[in-house]
Amino acid sequence: MRTTVTLDADVEQYIRNACQKRRKSFKRVLNDALRESLKPADTKRELLPPRAMGLTVGVDPRRLSDFADELEADAFLAAKNPATYKGTSK
C-alpha cells in the first residue's frame, strides 16, 4: 500500500542511520520499526512464586505504610524541635 507520511527531520535521520547500519532499504527499516512498535503486547505474564517476607509476628504488611508515615512525621517533628520532641512511635 502506498501512502504519504510527513516525518520529522530527526525521525528521518534515525531511519537513515538504521538503513546504513542494517544495510536495508528505507521502506524495510520503516516497516520493521512500525511493526515492532505497534504489535500487540504479549498477554502471557510470568508469575513469580510467593516467598516469605521475613516479617516479625504481629506485623501487618497492610499497615506498613501507616508505620512509615508515623516515622516520617516523627523525624520531621524531631528535626524542627530536637530538644523537646519525645516522639510518638512505639
| Eight-class DSSP state of 5 | -
Whether the predicted pLDDT of 90 surpasses 60: no
Res. 89: pLDDT tops 70: no
Q: What is the pLDDT of residue 23?
A: 97
pLDDT at 33: 97
Residue that the C-alpha cell 509476628 belongs to: 57
Predicted confidence (pLDDT) per residue in 18-66, tens digit: 999 999 999 999 999 999 999 988 778 788 898 887 878 887 888 889 9
- 33, 51 Cβ separation under 8 angstroms: no
Instruction: Please indicate whether residue 34 or residue 78 has the higher confidence score (pLDDT).
Output: 34
The gap between the terminal CA atoms of the chain, to the nearest Å, is 70
